[in-house]
Amino acid sequence: MSSPAHEAGRRSREAAMARDKQAWLAVFADDAIVEDPIGPSHFDPEGKGHRGKEAIAKFYDMAIAPSVLTFNFEKTYQCGNEEANVGHIVIESSGYRVIAEGVFTYRVDDDGKIVALRAYWELDKATASAQKI
């Protein structure tokens, strides 16, 4: 399974799991948007997403840097320059483990850079899954 969207998504996940901020930012186009989760959340109170490298770097500092992440995707669908993954992400942070179940998408440009990372997961359900570790 190899497409530009799949490879960019793989690099994004590997960099996030390794907590390698520079490698993670390098997979994004300059004007990319990250919506994780889509809509209002404690990471994005207005629900407009994080657009551009500076905003994406701030999202990294808030959401990825303090966390240990594990990606578990059961199904992947590739269409054109996009990929959708169905599954869950295990997030360990501040002594808790949370599971975010949903659909996670990557769209790339002609250079294979991510222009949109969108995560469809429900904050309330993820919060309800919290377990002390």
Domains of the chain, by residue range, sit at 4-132
Does pLDDT of 92 surpass 80? yes
19-30 pLDDT tens trace: 999 999 999 999
52-83 pLDDT tens trace: 999 999 999 999 999 999 999 999 999 999 99
Rounded Cα distance, 94 and 75, in Å: 29
Q: Which two tokens stand for residue 90?
A: 């295990």
- The highest-level CATH class for domain 4-132 is alpha beta
Looking at the chain, the number of H-run helices and the number of E-run strands are: 4, 7
pTM: 0.94
